[in-house]
Structure 1
Amino acid sequence: MKVLDLQCRLGHVFEGWFASEDDYLGQKQRGLLQCPLCADDHIEKRLSAPRLNLGSRDVTEPAKAPVPSSAPAPTVADTKAESMALQAAWLSLARKIVAHTEDVGHHFAQEARRMHHGEVPERGIRGHATPDETVQLLEEGIAVLPLPLPEAAKETLQ
């Protein structure tokens, strides 16, 4: 099993698990790789640190005390952990949105207008609208929020 650090054009970093390098390349060539945060399909490998199993430390060896510092600088691991936590929070929010809204697809603008005019009961909807349709809805006083939902939010990740 190969665990690769991947990155989309927007700089989102995430892990991908593949059976082999050929599996990764095959999935990339077939367009199956997608950023779980923004759905970008332009995915590149990043350099990643190998996991080295060097054995455990001798228990008779005394542990070295950390050197105190007045203001420790954030490490790469700290930054990566923060980034991963933010990505996980965003994906969790996206899944909640999917779970509590109805996907009306490309009929979003029409359905939003129907709700606004009282033709159908109000409910949470999501779907696709062109930039022009979005501007028109806002000009009509219909509150909309463009929110790109990644495909990963619509299904369970393994």
Structure 2
Amino acid sequence: MIQYALRCDQGHDFDSWFQSASAFETLKNAGHMSCAICGSAAVEKAVMSPRVAVPAKAETTAALRKPETEGEKAITALRRHVEANSDYVGTRFAEEARSMHLGETPERAIYGEANGAEARKLIEDGIPVAALPFLPNRKAN
């Protein structure tokens, strides 16, 4: 994927993603491109600066990972406490919380993921839940 800065003949600047440089040309030549602001079909690539990835230095990376403020330190401590004293149930959070509330499974401390509708339904049904100020760790592979 490639992102291009674009400009129409009316002077509107916008950007868009394309599968490749040739995909941009194919769409433009077929007349399938228009300004995102005014709809003009006269769209050209605008001047743009290249994006260059710069590897971070080890000390910079370490400094970015270190909590700096008292609030960040408190959230880090809360996360460690929750992870050490609770079971992660993933996307089954609403199902597990409801099952414990109904007495179908033994009560225990759990944390996981629920969408807004699931969380709202739990609260409406009198099941105590709270949003955590962090996302759960997820395995990438």
TM-score (norm 2): 0.49
More strand by share: 2
Query: Which one has the largest radius of gyration?
Result: 2
Which has the higher relative contact order, 1 or 2, with Cα contacts under 8 A spaced 6 or more apart? 1
